[in-house]
Structure formats: C-alpha cells, structure tokens
Amino acid sequence: MTNLLSIVIWTPVLAGLLVLATGSDRNAALARGVALVGALLGFAVTIPLYLGFDPASAALQFVEFKLWIGAFRVAYYLGVDGISLWFVLLNSFITVFVVLAGWRSIKLRVAQYNAAFLIMSGLMNGIFCAQDGMLFYVFFEASLIPLYLIIGVWGGANRVYAALKFFIYTLFGSLPLLLALIYLYLQSGSFLMGEVPAGFEVLGRIVTWKMLPLSLTEQIWIFLAFLIAFAVKVPMFPVHTWLPDAHVEAPTGGSVVLAAIALKLGAYGFLRFSLPVTPDAAHELAWLVIALSLIAVIYIGLVALAQKDMKKLVAYSSIAHMGFVTLGFFLFSPLGMEGALVQMISHGFVSAAMFLCIGVLYDRLHTRQIDDFGGVVNVMPKFAAFFMLFAMANAALPATSGFVGEFMVILAAIQFNFWVAFGAATTLIVGAAYTLWMYKRVVFGVVANDKVAGLNDISAREFLILGLLALCVLGMGLYPAPFTDVMHVSVDELLRHVVQGKIPSVFPIPPLP
Amino acid sequence: MPSRAMPDSISMFFQGFDLAALNLTLAAPEIFLLVMSCVILLLDLMVKSPRRTVTFSLTQITLLGALLLTWLTRPGSLADLFAFNGMFINDRLAVFLKLLLYLVVLLTLAYSRRYLCERPEMCKGEYFVLALLATLGMSVMISANHFLPLYLGLEIMSLALYAMTAMQRDSAVATEAAMKYFVLGAMASGFLLYGMSMIYGATESLYLPEIGMRLSELHTYGFASADLVLALGVVFLVAAIGFKLGAAPFHMWLPDVYHGAPTAATLFIAAAPKLAGFALMLRLLVAALPEQQTDWQSMLMVLAMFSIMLGNLVALAQTNLKRMLAYSAISHMGFMLIGIASTQIQTFDEALASSLFYLISYVLMTLAAFGILLLFARGGFEADELAHYKGLNQRHPWFAAMMMIVMLSMAGIPFFVGFWAKFYVLKTAVHSGFLWLAIVAILFSVVGAFYYLRVIKYMYFDEPDAAAAARIDSGFWIKTLVSLNALGVAFLGLFPDVLLLLSRLSAISLLMMRQYY
C-alpha cells in the first residue's frame, strides 16, 4: 500500500475522535471497548510496516509526498528509515497498554481520557514519520496538547502546576527550533530535511537541509537552537526539572507515554536535525553534550537514590537513562549510536513497565511513597516476580534489554575516551543501587502495615500487560539482533554523513536565492 | 424668462458633473448600505415586537445584499477601479476586505441577537441601524483613495461605535466605557486630521497616490524644507493608526472599553473595525507614504514590540475574560504590525500578506471567542469572568472543546490557524533581517501561552461551582454557527493555502496600484 504511513498516523486519531463521540460516562464501557479496538487496530496497521521494510536499504521507505501548503512550500512528506521504524512500532504497541492500564482506574470522563491517548499516539507517529521540517514541528507542538490535558485533568493533587510547567517548558524549548527552521527554510527554499522525494530529483534545484552548505558559525547557532529544543524534551541536565513533576502528577497511562515515547522525541530530534543538518557543529560541540550526558548519568542517578516517591525515582532514573542515549549519539561511532537506539527502545519497554508496576500499587493503596510499603511479596507474589524482572532490567542486568544498550554505549565510550567510559559505567553501580534499594524497601521485608496486608495480587488483565512487557524485555535482552539489523544501514549512512561534515566538501548545487 | 432660467441654472450646476464618470456602480455596496439603513430606521418605527425580528432580519439581508453587490462589482479591468473621480478605489484589497467585513458583521450580529433581546434597553432598532452605519463607515475607509473619504469613513464608523457602546444607558460601566472611547477616539481623529493637514501642507494634495508621487519628486529634487513637517505628519498619522488598532502605547482605551461595553458591542468593536483600521494603515502608509518608509517602519516596530510585551504581560494578571481578551488583542495587533513593520524591498508583498493573514485569523478567532462568551451570557449574567468557565467541560464538553480550539489557536499552537499566522509574520521578520524582533515576539508568545492555557485549565481541570456558566439558551442555528466558526479556526489551520493565496493577491494588488501611478 502506498499510503501506509498515513493510515498509521490517522487511524489512532480517527479512533480517538470516535471514542470522543461515545459521549458521557454513561457509555464508559463502550468508550473503553472502542478505545481498545482502536489501539489494537492502530498497532495492527504498523505490522505491515515491519514486514514490508527492507533493512538493506538506507533510503526512506513507504514514502508519501504531497504539497500541503504551497505558499510556504510545506509538504506532507512521510517516510521511515531504520531509525524511525522502531519508534512507530513502539509507540503503537505502548498505546494498547495505556488503554488497558486505565481500564479500571480511570472512572471519570473515560471517553476523553482514551481519546486523548489515541490522538496523541497518532500525532507521535506523525513526528516519527515526518520528513518535512515544518510537518515535524507541527506534529511536535500539537502532541503537547493531549499530554497537557492528560496531566491536568486526570493527574494528582498538584496537577495544574505540573501540566502548565510541562507545557510552558516544552513550548519555550521548541520556539528556538521554530526560528532555526525558518532560517533553514529561507536559506534552502524548502522544508525538506533529508532526502529529495523520488520523482523530484529532476528539479535539481531543490536543496535539502542535509545537503545545504552552512558555515560553522551558522551551524553552531542552529545547533544551539536545536539543542535547546531537544534538550528540554529529552530532558537533559539543566532543563530536566519539569519531568519529575509531570511524572509524579500524571496518571499511570500519562507517565507511561511520557517515559516510553515522549522522551524519545527529543533524542530522535538529535538524529533527524542536529546530526544531519549541522554535522560540523555537532563535532565542535560534542564535548558539551557529552558533559551534560555524563552529569545526567552520574548526578541524576545520585538524585534518584534520594527519592522517597517511587514515581519520582523512576522519573529521575529515566533522565539518567536518557543521558546514555545522548552520550551514545555524540560518540560518533556505529556501536555507540546503535547502542543508544537500542537503549531508547529498551527504555520504552522498561520504563513503561516500571510505571505500570507502580500504577498497580497506586491503584490499590493510592500512595506512591516507598515508606508506605514493605513486604509486598508476601501478599502479591506474582506481582513481585514481574516487578523484580523490570527492576533488574532498569538496573541493566545482563539478559534483559536494559543491558544491551548500556553495554554497547560503554564499549563505544571506551574507544572514545577512558574517563568518559568510566563515568558512564558508574551507572551500573548507581542504577543498581537506587532500583534495587527501592525494590527491597517496597517488596521485601515484613508486611509493613494492615493496608499492605490486605492487597490482592494482580488480576488477569494486569498479568497480561506485565507478561507481554516481560516477554519484550527478555526477548530484546536475549536476542537483540532483529532490532539492530533493521537500523544498521541507516545508522551507517547517517554516521558517514556526520563524519564527512559539510564544510570541507565542494557543493555542486547552488542554494536557492 | 424665469421659466427658462431654472433649467439653465440646473444645467450649469451639473456642467462639470459627468454622472457616468463618477462610476457610481462601484460604490453600489456602500450606497445600498446607506439606503437600507435609512429604510430600516423608518420601518423600525412600525415594528412592535420587542424582539425586533423584522429589523434584525432586514439588517442581515442588507449585509447579505452588500456582500453580493461587492462580489458583483469586483474589478475586472482598470476602468472598474476608481469611482468619484478617483476618490474611491475598488481594488482587490478593497473587495477582499469588504467581503470579509460584511461577513464578520453578519456573524457578529447573529451571535449578539439573543444577548440584545435579553436586555430591553439594547434591543432597539437603533442598534442595528448603528451597526449598519458603522459598517458603511468601515466600508468607505477600506475603499478610500483620498484623505477626505478616509476621514469621513473613520468618523461615520467611530460615532456609530460610541453610540453602540453607550446603548445600555443605565449601566454606569458602559457609560464610562463609552465616554472613554469617545474622548480618546476623538483625540485620535484629531491626530489623524492634524497629520493629514501636515502632509497636505508638504505635498499640496489629498489624493493618496498623488501624495506618493509628489513625495518622490520632493525626494528627487531634495526639498529638505518639507522634511520636518512631513516627519511630524507621519508621527501623527502613525499615532492615530495606533489608536484605532489599539496598539501600545496608544492602547489605553481598549481594556476599559472591551470590559465596560456590553459583550455584543465588545464583539462588534473587537472584530470588524480592525479590518478597517488595517485598511487605514495600508492606504496611509503603504499607498501614500512609501517614501517615508524608514520613518514609519521604525515607529511601527516600536508599536509592535510594546504591544506584544505589554499585551502579553498584563493579560497574565486578568481575572475577567473580556479584559484578558482585550490585552490579548493588543498583543495580536503587535504581532500583526510585525509583518508591515519589517517591510523590505525583497519582502514587500510578503510583509503585507503576512499582516493581512494575521489580521484575518485574529478576527476569526475573536469572533469565535466572543461568540462562545455570548452563548453563555443570559439576562443578568454576563459570563465574562474566567471563573464562570470553571468545569465547563463537564457541563458543555462540545463548547469547551470549541473554546479550547480558539485559545490554542490564539496561543499559536499548530494545527490551528493562529500558528500559521504567527509563523508567517515571524518568517517575514527573519527574511527581512529583523531577527531580534522575531526573538522578542517569540519570547513573549511563550508568556502569552500561559494565560490562554489558564482558560483551558479553568474549563478542563477545575470542578464547576454555583457561579459557573450552566445553561445555553441560544437556538440550534446560532450554536451551529459558533461551532462552525471555531471549527473554521481548526480547518484553516489544516488547510491555510487558499487564505494565504488571497492575502498574497490582495497585497500584490495594493503594490500594483503604486506601480500604476
């Protein structure tokens, strides 16, 4: 099918609108049913994407190209390569769990809740498929709206503050991106990011941003604009403070999407914008990103150790894990970049699972404080087993998915510089410390109080959710080759471009006036 | 022979008066508006019903008729461009703005009908006649090619608007608002007149294109003696334009008038006159004073920057929705001015088009926002406090969603038309080399996002209380119309191409006119 990506993007959005149409909470059961069908359908349409994908080619696949806004030369230009394919799949996959996770715990405005997640899922797919800079930006910004509502309407006590902080922070970050996009557009005369779509090469005069010649000064300013936007979204060290608030206040589903998908948008932005468009500036300023990443890994890891709220702890651990991702990107080696990508996917599974586990406990006792728990294993043995597995994956135990990515990044770091690798490797200790210590305090020991004693073990629905995620975590940890195989060619192509840079080469194509 | 003298004197009177050369048909919409407003004024004496159904329907039919006539008289050739010996111009810009104007007034009156009916002192034939007269004034302004019709149109519009604000005679707030509006508006008119007389002094012409021509001669031959009076003239004109558009630092009247006026009148003032004010600016600055561009450009830039800063910062502190929208209007006018202010040779049509596009999207969003306000207003309940919108999502999820669309669009979040409007003016500013202006605008639009999001917070995150808006009394058609208006904001955000093209064409028509002279 030629318009498969459009189907992937718009199926969840339409399903979301359909869910909205079910109306008030009198039809809650219907809304849940429609939402689940929509989410499953949204996932089902991504499967032909995986089956039809040619891993041997670095070119964009499933390309769609239509002029959208002629006046600005904005195109509805979609395509996936080995890098973005996995995120589309992951996003659609996680959406199913989000709908399931809110099955019992969300009782108010069920239709709107599920609709918000479905629409967001579609918009996120749009971000990962967009090959036109403005289309990317439009999806990028629009995806803030559903998450703002999710945190604000179904969140905890301090939800208004968290929702506003989330929105304003990310909006502030993305406006420099807009300026950079405008600048690039005026320089190149188009919004095409990477490749000229097939059939348009004949025009010859089209310059994509990847090919646009830029001086080092220009590149550095553009790189910094990109950095602000994506660093807020990742989030990287000095601009990470919105994330713990957003995570703590968001409902379980919101936290899952935030950790599993929304954070990946920033990292994905580095791959789509910073590295291809400003490769020389990326080399020039790699030290900055590496330093910030190491701070995230070490300092934020220590901050996580001190948390009393389980969600906050996992939120900080997410920041630390994302530090690994940005570190991997800026080592400029295939191993590091693939490791970072694997880490992103793995973190999607593991953090989603961690938040779902915390959600299981929260649904029962309505608290997330570590001190309120203790001895959960005595009353919830099945749950404790799952939680154990995910905690181990979070601490990057070999044979879980968490290990693969971190190990690859550390190996790449050793090739780069011993001390960078040393800093990164401390996460193996710190990460294990905060995760396992939390696990010990919550699950082991004697039963802490009567409330814990009255807990019921997980239901069939919860068992299904956690079981599937456990399979993913183990599967990816034991046999990561399918993941890396798909991205291999695309990563090599990107790195070839980044290493070559823009400044020394001679460009045959003159820029548009 | 007195019997023969009479026809003679009449013929002498008409001697220099070729009726065909007046090209009256081009002004058919204006003439129709004038005639109909007199007819409606008389007919209304016969109307007994307190709901004024006949008057209202006739007013709307008049506007539809004007819409149709404007379409029929759209220019096909150069001969169709000028009427009244060149005082009246009917270029593409004029036609486009007038079509929009009649549509906007039509919607405005449709939205405010029930509000007016529930307040007996406002539901009078005069209100509709005044609305028509104000429309006539704006229409004349849009088509003016000469200082006199420009000023005439402005005064017809302003006087009608003062009266509409003051219609609620017993309300102290409304009277105060009307007084403020009148005093400051009169001052602005004075400024305008003063500026015009200075320009006339320097160029000895009242025709806008002729002024431009004289000025270029003056510049060519270097008559420096006229420079001071010209510069002063431009200052006064820009000040008057600032007043009429409500750009800081000439914005003082705006929050009080928006807040104090009855919501129906606020909507009228907020939407349509901005179109006329925009035409005033284009005709005065771009058509007549292109030679003084460096002067007015820097002034407009200051106005734009002040408006964006002040509008967005002060709006943060408002608890009244109408007042908040007033400050948001100031900031929107600032954004709109960025386009014109960053005119450069390479971006001329783009600059005008981006401002026009911004203006149209602003008018559309304002109409929708006040339309929703008017839906919830009842007799004795204005629904104008932010707190009235607490928990709206639980009572009226549909209209909460519509309001959310409008607020997000005003904040400039994508997939809504407000985003493309902001993008277009920012692109123009960057293209013209005014990166700093774009950065200031962007920083303050983040500030602005906060108060628009706060409206969403009230509607979605809070629980409704006893004071919150509860009931909608409006009929099905009005609800549909408001919904279509709000959905239009979303639709134009998805497919802005046609509107962009129309703005571009209108802008080009103004520039072609300059070439033509």
In the predicted structure, residue A418 carries a pLDDT above the cut 50:
yes
In whole angstroms, give the CA distance from residue B510 to residue B349.
9
Residue A116: which region, alpha, beta or left (left: phi > 0; alpha: psi -120 to 50)?
alpha
- CA B256 vs CA B162, B179, B243: distances in Å: 13, 10, 14
Residues of B in contact with A144 (CB under 8 A): 413
CB contact under 8 Å between B449 and A69, yes or no, is: no
For residues B211 and B205, the answer to whether their CB atoms sit within 8 Å is yes
Weakest mean pLDDT among A236-250, A284-298, A374-388, A495-509:
A495-509
Residue B78: predicted pLDDT = 66
- Which tokens in the block code for residue B160? 């009608």
In whole angstroms, give the CA distance from residue B500 to residue B507.
11
Query: Helix/strand/coil (H, E, C) string of B186-222?
Result: HHHHHHHHHHHHHHHHHHCCCEHHHHHHHHHHHHHHC
Residues of B in contact with A71 (CB under 8 A): 496-497, 500-501, 504
CB contact under 8 Å between B413 and A182, yes or no, is: no
Interchain contact B141–A (C-beta under 8 A): no
Provide DSSP, B273-296: HHHHHHHHHIIIIIII-GGGHHHH
For residues B474 and B375, the answer to whether their CB atoms sit within 8 Å is yes
Mean pLDDT of chain B: 87
Residue A477: predicted pLDDT = 86
R_g of chain A, CA atoms, integer Å: 22
Q: Nearest 5°: CA angle at B138, between B230 and B187?
A: 50
Nearest to A164 among B393, B439, B453 (CB): B453
Residues of A in contact with B461 (CB under 8 A): 152-153, 159-160, 163
* Share above pLDDT 90 across residues of chain A, in percent, rounded to a whole number: 16
In whole angstroms, give the CA distance from residue B189 to residue B207.
19
Interchain contact B453–A (C-beta under 8 A): yes
pLDDT confidence tier of residue B7, bands split at 50, 70 and 90:
very low
In terms of Cα–Cα distance, which of A257, A263, A259 is closest to A239?
Answer: A263
pTM for the whole thing?
0.92
Residue B159: predicted pLDDT = 94
Nearest to B446 among A152, A171, A179 (CB): A171
Residues of A in contact with B443 (CB under 8 A): 175
CB contact under 8 Å between A164 and B457, yes or no, is: yes
Q: How far is B472 from chain A (nearest CA, A)?
A: 18
B152 vs B16, which has greater pLDDT? Answer: B152
- Which tokens in the block code for residue A496? 């070839």
pLDDT confidence tier of residue A203, bands split at 50, 70 and 90:
low
B322 vs A482, which has greater pLDDT? Answer: B322
pLDDT confidence tier of residue B365, bands split at 50, 70 and 90:
very high
Task: Give, for B381, the enclosing helix (H) or strand (E).
Answer: none
pLDDT confidence tier of residue A397, bands split at 50, 70 and 90:
confident
CB contact under 8 Å between B497 and A179, yes or no, is: no
Residues in chain B: 517
CB contact under 8 Å between A145 and B397, yes or no, is: no
Most confident of A72-81, A234-243, B296-305, B472-481: B296-305
For residues A420 and A294, the answer to whether their CB atoms sit within 8 Å is yes
Interchain contact B491–A (C-beta under 8 A): no
CB contact under 8 Å between A141 and B419, yes or no, is: yes
For residues A265 and A233, the answer to whether their CB atoms sit within 8 Å is yes
Residue pLDDT, tens place only, A332-388: 888 888 899 998 999 989 999 999 988 888 888 888 888 888 888 888 888 888 888
Residue B3: predicted pLDDT = 41
- Which residues make Cβ contacts (< 8 Å) with residue A404, sequence separation at least 6? A339, A342, A343, A346, A476, A477, A480
Chain A residue set in contact with B, beta carbons under 8 Å:
68-72, 109, 112, 137-139, 141-142, 144-145, 148-149, 152-153, 159-160, 163-164, 167-168, 171-172, 175-176, 178-179, 182-183, 185-186
Nearest to A142 among B414, B460, B461 (CB): B414
For residues A239 and A169, the answer to whether their CB atoms sit within 8 Å is yes
Nearest to A138 among B415, B443, B500 (CB): B415
CB contact under 8 Å between B453 and A168, yes or no, is: yes
Residue pLDDT, tens place only, A143-190: 989 999 999 888 888 889 999 999 999 999 888 999 999 999 988 888
- Mean pLDDT throughout A456-463? 85
Nearest to A179 among B438, B457, B500 (CB): B438
CB contact under 8 Å between B445 and A175, yes or no, is: yes
Domain assignments of chain B as residue spans, ordered by start: 291-517
Q: Nearest 5°: CA angle at A323, between A421 and A414?
A: 15
Residues of A in contact with B397 (CB under 8 A): 112
Nearest to B457 among A109, A160, A178 (CB): A160
The ipTM (two decimal places) reads 0.90
For residues A408 and A335, the answer to whether their CB atoms sit within 8 Å is yes
- Which tokens in the block code for residue B514? 């300059």
Interface test with chain A among B394, B460, B501, by most A beta carbons within 10 Å: B460
Residues of A in contact with B426 (CB under 8 A): 178-179, 182
pLDDT confidence tier of residue A106, bands split at 50, 70 and 90:
confident
Q: How far is A21 from chain B (nearest CA, A)?
A: 10
Mean pLDDT of chain A: 86
pLDDT confidence tier of residue A205, bands split at 50, 70 and 90:
low
Residue pLDDT, tens place only, A112-136: 888 999 999 999 999 999 989 999 9
pLDDT confidence tier of residue B423, bands split at 50, 70 and 90:
very high
B 498-517 residues with CB < 8 A to A: 500-501, 504
Strands A74-80 and B82-83: unpaired
Strand stretches in B63-148, DSSP E = 82-83, 88-89
For residues A302 and A325, the answer to whether their CB atoms sit within 8 Å is no
Residues of A in contact with B427 (CB under 8 A): 72, 182, 185-186
Residue pLDDT, tens place only, B378-393: 877 888 888 888 888 8
In whole angstroms, give the CA distance from residue A302 to residue B315.
41
In whole angstroms, give the CA distance from residue B498 to residue B417.
12
Chain A to chain B Cβ contacts (< 8 Å): 90
CB contact under 8 Å between A148 and B453, yes or no, is: yes
- CA B367 vs CA B270, B359, B415, B486: distances in Å: 8, 12, 19, 9
Residue pLDDT, tens place only, B429-441: 998 889 999 999 9
CB contact under 8 Å between A142 and B427, yes or no, is: no
| Number of neighbours of residue A294 by Cβ within 10 angstroms | 23
Interchain contact B442–A (C-beta under 8 A): yes
- CA B265 vs CA A246, B44, B106, B174, B325: distances in Å: 42, 20, 14, 10, 14
| Number of neighbours of residue B326 by Cβ within 10 angstroms | 26
- Mean pLDDT throughout B46-51? 81
Nearest to B446 among A68, A145, A168 (CB): A168
Nearest CA in chain A to B453: A164
Buried (b) or exposed (e) across B286-313, using 16+ Cβ within 10 A?
Answer: bbbbbbbbebbbebbbbbbbbbbbbbbe
Residues in chain A: 513
Kindly state the DSSP code that residue B432 receives in the 8-state scheme: T
R_g of chain B, CA atoms, integer Å: 23
Burial level of B121, CB count in 10 A (0-12/13-18/19+)?
middle
Strand stretches in A281-380, DSSP E = none
Burial level of B176, CB count in 10 A (0-12/13-18/19+)?
middle
In the chain, the amino acid numbered A10 is W
In terms of Cα–Cα distance, which of B117, B170, B79 is closest to B478?
Answer: B117
Residue B182: predicted pLDDT = 93
